[in-house]
Amino acid sequence: MNRFPNLNFAHSRAEARKNRLLIIAVLGLVLGVEWGYSAWQFQDAEGERRRLESDLYRLQKRLKQPAEVAPSKEVNLRLVAARNMVNSLSIPWEELLSALEKAHGGKVVVESIRPNVEGRKVEIGVRAIGFSEVSGFIRRLSATGVLERVMLVSETSGIDAKSSSRFVISASWGERK
């Protein structure tokens, strides 16, 4: 009996061939298992990608804004009326009317008040016999401090010297305090 291990792995040609085939078979088995595992991971990742894409599509579909529907004429009229109401609430009516009362000298008749909310301006239509009454009215209106840049915009003369003329005065108001 041999007490030393046999260090010659190639005992014979047949045995060396058998060892080579065994090594090739083991390598083939390992590579096959790895390839199968990789294919299984690829299929799993592909399924996950398809699932995520379908979730993304559903979320994008939910988040898309619906097509805007043009409002009807009745709704447009209501919107305009509501906008006008909100705009009229932002006009400082109390201060404006108080300033007109303070500036009124008795010889000037205020016929119309046309506010423009966007421009923060007001056009005041007045009637008076002479220009001196209107110029005094403009000075007193400026002195109230409620209206700024008070100026005469137009004048329509009366038929004769005793009839009244129509004047249009423009002014703007500042921020409410």
How confident is the model over 25-46, as pLDDT tens digits?
Answer: 888 899 999 998 988 999 998 9
* 142: in domain: yes
* 23: in domain: yes
58 and 123 together in one domain: no
* 143: in domain: yes
> In terms of pTM, does the model score above 0.85?
no
pLDDT confidence of residue 51: 92
58 and 113 together in one domain: no
User: What is the total count of domains within the chain?
Assistant: 2
Residues 44-58, mean pLDDT to the nearest whole number: 90
Q: How many CB atoms lie within 10 A of CB 164?
A: 18
Rounding to the nearest 10 degrees, give the CA dihedral for residues 50, 53, 58, 60: -170
pLDDT confidence of residue 48: 92
Query: Which pair of structure tokens corresponds to residue 176?
Result: 């409410």
Domain range for residue 131? 92-173
DSSP-derived 3-state class of residue 165: strand
57 and 102 together in one domain: no
101 and 29 together in one domain: no
96 and 49 together in one domain: no
169 and 112 together in one domain: yes
Question: CA–CA distance from 142 to each of 94, 107, 108, 113, 133 (Å)?
Answer: 16, 17, 15, 16, 14
Query: What is the share, in percent, of the chain residues with pLDDT greater than 70?
Result: 86
Tally of residues, the chain: 177
98 and 58 together in one domain: no
Q: Which helix (H) or strand (E) holds 65?
A: none
CA angle 157, 158, 163 (to 5 degrees): 140
Point out the least confidently predicted range of 38-52, 88-102, 111-125. 88-102
- The one-letter code for the residue type at 92 is P
Q: At what angle do helices 131-143 and 93-103 cross, to 10 degrees?
A: 130
102 and 39 together in one domain: no
Q: What is the DSSP letter of 160?
A: S
Cα separation, 158 vs 164, whole angstroms: 5
* 86: in domain: no
Q: Which residues of 61-73 are buried (b: 16+ CB within 10 A; e: fewer)?
A: eeeeeeeeeeeee
Cα separation, 93 vs 152, whole angstroms: 21
CATH of the domain at 160: 3.30.1360.100
The residue to which tokens 């085939």 are assigned: 21
CB–CB of 141/103 below 8 Å? yes
